[in-house]
Structure 1
Amino acid sequence: MKIAFYGSSLLSSYWNGAATYYRGILSELANRGHDITFYEPDAFDRQQHRDIDPPEWARVVVYPATVEALRNVMAEAAQADVVVKASGVGVFDDELLEGLLKSAAPHAIRIFWDVDAAATLDEMRAGPDHAVRRALPDLDMVLTYGGGDPVIDAYRSFGARTCIPVYNALDPSSHFPVPPDPDFQCDLAFLGNRLPDRESRVEEFFLRAAAMLPDRSFLIGGNGWESKAMPANVRHRGHVYTAQHNAFNSTPLAVLNVARDSMAHIGFSPATRVFEAAGAAACLITDAWEGIEMFLTPDEEVLVARDGQDVADHLATLTPERARQIGQAALERVKTEHTYALRGAQVDAILSSHVAAAAAERMEKA
């Protein structure tokens, strides 16, 4: 099938945590014979901070962030069998969703793919006229980055016909163990952009732990932290490109995952970096969130912390041997159960099932 996918960016992870997710799933769909075109706006300096060149498995259309360019790329949706509008494109989100529903061919599968369902649902609850809420009757399905039953139930309560989580995963060809890099040497590393609904949790789980362990070394990577006051034993790295993620995850004694407020509240929403770290055989310490056992087993494949004190306690007693054991166990688990090959197969089956159901419905009416 021809898939027209409108998202934030496939080419750049700069202020765009969904890039790895898009790449993993869409490349697998291409491997299964689907024809992928990804539309992304030239916005937020992402094109100046590309991680990859346009891949062989997708046609990438980078369009100016203007009304005229928006109209042009929306018109191309008419040629597709599957039209996907992702959340968080960043410019003209509402106009894009409304326009794509109008431009899509009558036979096309119309999908809203929510990569931040918790935030979207909060906005929908607060705004009866929210663009996604208005669009639900005309959408064939909602796919989400995660969220489990709480997100499924919430979307159905708003009128979604179908809501299916497609979780993050590992691409073993992109994320894998590598030799240590002195630039990333430390006891605990954290990678994530500075965002309002993440900052207080970083303060608790990372900076508080650093303050409690002044003799241990800490490293924070990501955009926006340069103006943040931090303990003296914390180094700030700035933006870490995708090509550097393996070294960032393989080198430290342990790596920290901190969910954003909304995702931690809903649960069942492992960040992309959980699987990237596990893929590099990192010893992962994660903040506690419901559903972690679906992905990694606590105390065997991941260490779980309720607060900064727990993080400090884990780190104070963690030996290199124990860290290696946990990291290796996590790597084996995600390679077996949580790869993008499996996620691609899931989405392919979802699309095929929808086409079959639509054909059966037409035959009944004939």
Structure 2
Amino acid sequence: MNITLFYHSILSDWNHGNAHFLRGIVRELEERGHQVSVYEPKDGWSLQNLVEGYGKEKLDELSAYYPNVNTNFYTLDTLDLDTVLQDADLVLVHEWNEHELVKRVGEHRAKGGDYKLIFHDTHHRAVTARDSMAQYDLTHYDGVLAFGQKIRDLYLQEGWTEKAWTWHEAADTSVFYPHDREEHEGDLIWIGNWGDEERTAELHEFLINPVKELGLKAKIYGVRYPDHARKALADAGIEYGGWLPNYKAPEEFAKYKVTVHVPRRPYVEALPGIPTIRPFEALACGIPLISSPWDDAENLFTPGKDFLVAQNGEEMKEHLQIVLQSPEKAKSLAAHGLQTIRNRHTCAHRVDELEKVCEELGIATQKIYLTQKEQVLHEQ
């Protein structure tokens, strides 16, 4: 298939978790012989912050991990959809795009575009910013890919689309895999952005306070940490590492004995079943994981075996002590979580699901699935 993707950015993962999953999906699609073109807005906020804070050389570093990841920059006033979509079989438009772009692509499809058109939602705004999401004009779209059953159902209930599929994020195991290390540099690592005060109390209860009270050697990576957050980290003796390129995370996980997951409040309260990308990636790296409470309503994992769940701060301390003091328990937990990712939650699994959606939409099977001979020719 010729596939065109409109996303905020594939180059930058500065406060932009969608890039994690997108890179893995693009790589997997291309390895199967599909032709993929990514379009992102020129001077998008994530890329701007990355370049301003860390320099353009970070983009060169990215190419070492993702040598075939490329993008096309556009501006809305010069975007020529007739040219861009001329040979497309499938077009995905991400919800983190301007309303105008979403509408224009839909109108192009309505005027005779010979491709299938899908909207892709990977955020909680369908619940927390419903008015804004309702303004997206999906009239001429074939359906919606939603990264959780709850969001999928919402699109159907609100009448925003007639078709929707659940398409969870997953780990890009070409980059996220265990890195062997004989000795650890510390006890606990956490990789995550502070956000918009959506989990401030939770971060104190399940991360900062346990580390402080147990006297652990810990390091935290992420962006948008306000002064009060940095002060709290310093008071707890936690090293703050700032932004970490996503593709460097596996190397950092290998330096520590345990990590934790602290989901944002909208996911816990209104969107059960959506873990976001971080747990997938941590488990893929073979590091023991302890999570604050969230409802695995879609049975993606086996809580208690893939990861431990702490109902409160005291229980988080207990779980941390168990994992840190029992190498066998830590090893068993990590192994179970890793196997679950490999069995069910890789980007390859998600491309399998996407190809099934393409079948349902009526794209010719010879375009979706290359023959063995075609695959060999592609690899050559």
Alignment-derived partner of residue 129 in structure 2: 123
User: What is the aligned length?
Assistant: 342
% identical equivalent positions:
24
Deviation at 1:356, TM superposition (A): 5.5
Change in Cα spacing, 1:340 to 1:281, as seen in structure 2 (3 Å) is same
Tell me if 1:244 matches 2:251.
no
Matches within 5 A, 1:86-97: 86-89=94-97, 93-97=98-102
Which runs of structure 2 are paired with 1:277-292 in the superposition (5 Å)?
Answer: 277-291=282-296
Contact 1:181 1:251 in 2 (8 A): no
For the pair 1:321 / 2:315, whether they are aligned, the reply is no
Alpha carbons 1:286, 1:305 under 8 Å: kept: yes
Of residues 330, 341, 347 in structure 2, which corresponds to 1:340?
A: 347
Q: How far is 1:22 from its partner? A: 0.5
- For 2:72, the equivalent position in structure 1 comes to 61
**Partners of 1:130 and 1:153 in 2: CA distance:** 14
CA contact (8 A) 1:278 1:331 kept: yes
Kindly indicate whether residue 211 of structure 2 is the aligned counterpart of residue 210 of structure 1. yes
Matched, 1:349 2:360: no
Q: Return the letter of the residue paired with 2:125.
A: A
Tell me what 2:302 maps to. Answer: 297
Structure 1 residues 233 and 280: CA distance shift in structure 2, 3 A: same
Match of 2:303, as an amino acid?
A: P
Classify the secondary structure of the residue corresponding to 1:220: strand
**2: CA distance, partners of 1:74 / 1:321:** 59
Q: Secondary structure of 1:136's partner? A: coil
Q: Which residue of the partner structure matches residue 195 of structure 1?
A: 195
Q: What's the Cα RMSD here?
A: 2.5
Aligned to 1:165: 166
Q: CA deviation at 1:179?
A: 3.4
Look up the match of 2:91: 83
Contact 1:6 1:39 in 2 (8 A): yes
Q: Deviations over 1:302-339 (max 9, x none)?
A: 01122322211211232233212211121122112211
User: SS in structure 2 opposite 1:25?
Assistant: helix
Q: State the partner residue of 1:36.
A: 36
- Partner residue of 2:374? none
- Separation (CA, whole Å) in 1 of partners of 2:96 and 2:204: 25
CA contact (8 A) 1:30 1:58 kept: no
Matches within 5 A, 1:137-156: 137-145=139-147, 147-148=148-149, 150-156=150-156
TM-score under structure 2 normalisation?
Answer: 0.82
- Deviations 1:70-112 (Å, cap 9, x if unpaired)? x3468623542222210224xxx11111111122343321211
Between 333-342 and 288-297, the greater mean CA deviation after superposition: 288-297
Measured in 2, the distance between the counterparts of 1:181 and 1:239 equals 26
Tell me by how many angstroms 1:56 deviates.
6.1
Provide TM-score, normalisation by structure 1: 0.85
Mapped to 1, the partners of 2:70 and 2:213 lie a distance apart of 49
Give the CA deviation at 1:32: 2.8
Residues of 2 paired with 1:74 and 1:313: CA distance? 59
- The 5 Å alignment of 1:8-47 reads 8-41=8-41, 42-44=43-45, 45=48, 46=50
**Once the two structures are superposed, what CA deviation does each residue of 1:43-81 show, in whole Å capped at 9, x if it has no partner?**
232453435239565652023xx5434x34686235422
CA contact (8 A) 1:28 1:340 kept: yes
Residues 74 and 99 in structure 1, CA contact (< 8 A), matched pair in contact too: no
Can you list the C-alpha shifts for 1:134-186, whole angstroms capped at 9, x where unaligned?
x23322110022x22x222211011121111211222322111113498x832
Task: Give the partner amino acid of 1:200.
Answer: A
Secondary structure at the counterpart of residue 53 of structure 1: helix
CA contact (8 A) 2:221 2:241 kept: yes
